[in-house]
Amino acid sequence: MTMMKNKFFFFAAVIFFLLDRYFKIIALQKISTPSGGDFFIIPQFFKFTFFANKAGAFSLPLNNIFIIITSAVIIFFLIIFARRALLASYWLFLSGLLLVIGGALSNLFDRVAYQFVIDYFHFWPMSYFNLADVMIGVGIIILCWQKFNQRPCSDCVVKK
């Protein structure tokens, strides 16, 4: 993989991370205040709002310290895998990992700073979520797709 592709995927992951942080700031500072308010993006179906999510993934009632420690350990290992994918030029695997890492870091930041994750999208009647959750989900889909559709790659050479 060329260095240009590496930079593109890293840049894209950083942009999504920053966009998620921006949306979280808007939700926290504007919508969560008494003078603020949520608004529908698609009437009666898709709303931008504020929700302080104190539960774990899939609304599992887990201890916040447990979530923080587990998330940090998982992110650490994902970064090791991302480094190996970068060295081996596995661009699809790397892009999936970068999305998962970016989303996980954004949600981990919330857990440490606020003791909850800021969710701001609400599809009725489903649960609340944020762009970081979407990044994690899409990243996992990419990783699974890449794993089950893996083909030998002529330019995937481990650099030393």
Mean pLDDT for 112-119 is 92
DSSP 34-48: TT---EEEETTTEEE
Q: Which residues are catalytic?
A: 119, 133
Q: pLDDT grade, residue 157 (50/70/90)?
A: very low
Mean pLDDT for 133-151 is 88
Q: How many angstroms separate the CA atoms of 93 and 5, rounded?
A: 12
Q: How many angstroms separate the CA atoms of 105 and 108, rounded?
A: 5
Q: For residue range 56-115, what is the model confidence (pLDDT) as tens digits?
A: 776 666 777 878 788 888 888 888 877 777 666 677 888 889 999 999 999 999 999 999
Do residues 49 and 128 lie in contact, with contact meaning Cβ atoms separated by under 8 Å? yes
pTM of this structure: 0.77
Q: How many angstroms separate the CA atoms of 16 and 14, rounded?
A: 6
Q: Hey, where are the domains in the chain?
A: 3-31+46-148
Three-class secondary structure of residue 129 per DSSP: strand
What's the pLDDT at 22? 94
* pLDDT above 60: residue 153: no
Quote the strand ranges of the chain, DSSP E.
39-42, 46-53, 117-123, 128-129
